[in-house]
Chain A
Amino acid sequence: MNINHKLLLLLVVLCQSCTQSIVINTTVPEPLVEKIENFNLAVIYEDNIQNYQYENINSKSSACCEIDFSDSQLNLFRKILQSFFPGLIELPNNNSEMLSNVDLYMEPQLDAFEFLSPEESRNDKYAVWLKYKIDIYDNKKTLLSNWYITGYGEQNTGSFGVSESLTKAIDLALRDTGVNLAIKIEDDFDKLVKLISTDL
């Protein structure tokens, strides 16, 4: 191996060690909500809820590049929806069959994920935004409504490391999504039930 090859190998190794990779393992606590009994909800999670991986090679951020959400989003939606609907049914996302015992179908998908690093926002915080679109269908698979649920989290860099601050900001944004989803279900679920009733 000549000197050029050695230098090239060293450059590749150095560049790889620069790539930041963050794995999100958010777990939300058991929500303190009233259960909605005698209602059968089926949920179909889009791929970007089940295992979303963010990659940004152009960002100025020192904590950018690769963020693996693993099953954090899936666990969040499961935890919130199961706490409201004890008989929640999960269906695979290629499901086309209509089940007789289901009253409503929900199809959540990640619509947008954005973050600002301290370098970009010129302060000492990471700020994270999440936006989800939830399509809601009746038991004949007619679209009833679209819900847009957002989540926001921010974390000072302070005594935390760069990737730890970003991880905490994402953790807060996911928890905030859970808050907004819970509020939306409490506020708007009755309207959906009325829509089904008028449909009949």
Chain B
Amino acid sequence: MIHHSTLIFFLSGFFLIAGCTTTRLEEQTNLPFEILEGESVVITSNSYHVGNETETDFLQCINKSLIKKQKTFNVIPTQQFINQLYPWFEPRTAPQTTDDLSSFLARDLVRERIETLDVKYFVNISGQTKTNSSSGALTCAAGPGGGGCFGLAWWDDTSSYSASIWDLSKESSVGNVSASVSGTSVIPALVIPIPILARTQKTACEELTDQILDFFSRN
């Protein structure tokens, strides 16, 4: 019975601390829009040539999450779309703002391919996960008799991302959504280190996906 209570105490503590994140969501609609069943969207991101730092695994997470959470419209996986448009959707040639859309779509072959794929919107993601501050100390030692760690370390992460929805027919942004998630991760160590991580990027991915779906459901 004592063992069970201890286990419940530790598990509750773990989930309480691990779930200790703060989320801030924002939404802005600029123009009327509509997405019909069977039409497609593509998740895009600005190039590293313009200093964008959005992580590849975050874009993959948004792709997977959008595909999993709805069946109304198609989500063409980003890399598949890039390959279909090679060499006109590479870091050097992809449109970086809505102002670039007209010259991008001016190529007949590009426009035809986009029409074939029935792509109506680009969802342009920007942002990144940053570690703001870290503190504490953790030391580990090992000897012939065994080893262990002692101490406490913690750090704050902020995952701040926004999605701008670009309408390809209007060549303009119809709206923006954003999600910012902050959280503190802790590693207490008394012989064995127990990492209690605030999964800010994963939470931001889920929140931003819900925001995008909510945005599209309002047409």
**Which A residues lie at the B interface, using CB under 8 A?**
28-34, 154-156, 158-159, 172, 175-176, 178-180, 182-183
Contacts and interface: CB of A to CB of B under 8 A. Distances in A.
Contacts, number: 45
Given A31-B86, A155-B56, 18 more contacts: A28-B86, A29-B84, A30-B86, A31-B87, A32-B85, A32-B87, A32-B109, A33-B109, A154-B48, A156-B55, A159-B55, A175-B87, A176-B91, A178-B87, A179-B87, A179-B93, A180-B92, A182-B87
A94 B75 CA distance: 50
A170 B85 CA distance: 20
A176 B84 CA distance: 15
Which 10 A/B pairs are nearest by Cβ-Cβ distance? A179-B87, A29-B83, A29-B86, A32-B109, A182-B87, A179-B90, A159-B57, A179-B92, A154-B48, A178-B87
A32 B113 contact: yes
29 contacts: A28-B86, A29-B83, A29-B84, A29-B86, A30-B86, A31-B87, A32-B84, A32-B85, A32-B86, A32-B87, A32-B88, A32-B109, A32-B110, A32-B113, A33-B109, A34-B109, A154-B48, A156-B55, A158-B56, A175-B86, A175-B90, A176-B90, A178-B86, A178-B87, A179-B90, A179-B92, A182-B87, A183-B87, A183-B93
A155 B93 CA distance: 18
Contacts of B88: 32
A182 B87 CA distance: 8
Contacts of A28: 86
Interface of B: 48, 53, 55-57, 83-88, 90-93, 109-110, 113
With most chain A CB atoms within 10 A of its CB, the pick from B53, B56, B113 is: B56
Overall SS of chain A's interface: mixed
Contacts of A179: 87, 90, 92-93
Given A32-B109, A32-B110, A158-B57, A172 B83 contact: no
Chief secondary structure at chain B's binding surface: loop
A31 B86 CA distance: 5
B91 A172 contact: yes
Contacts of B113: 32
Contacts of B109: 32-34
Contacts of B83: 29
A56 B83 CA distance: 32
B57 to A, nearest CB: 5
A34 B108 CA distance: 10
Nearest to B129: A158
Nearest to B107: A32
A22 to B, nearest CB: 19
Contacts of A33: 87, 109
A184 B40 CA distance: 32
B4 to A, nearest CB: 37
Contacts of A182: 87
A32 B96 CA distance: 20
Contacts of A172: 91
Nearest to A156: B55
A144 B5 CA distance: 84
A179 B91 CA distance: 10
Nearest to B90: A179
Nearest to B55: A158
B157 to A, nearest CB: 14
Contact of A156 (B56, B85, B86, B92): B56
Nearest to B128: A156
Contacts of B87: 31-33, 175, 178-179, 182-183
Nearest to A124: B53
Nearest to B89: A32
A29 B88 CA distance: 12
Nearest to B110: A32
Nearest to B88: A32
B49 to A, nearest CB: 8
Nearest to B87: A179
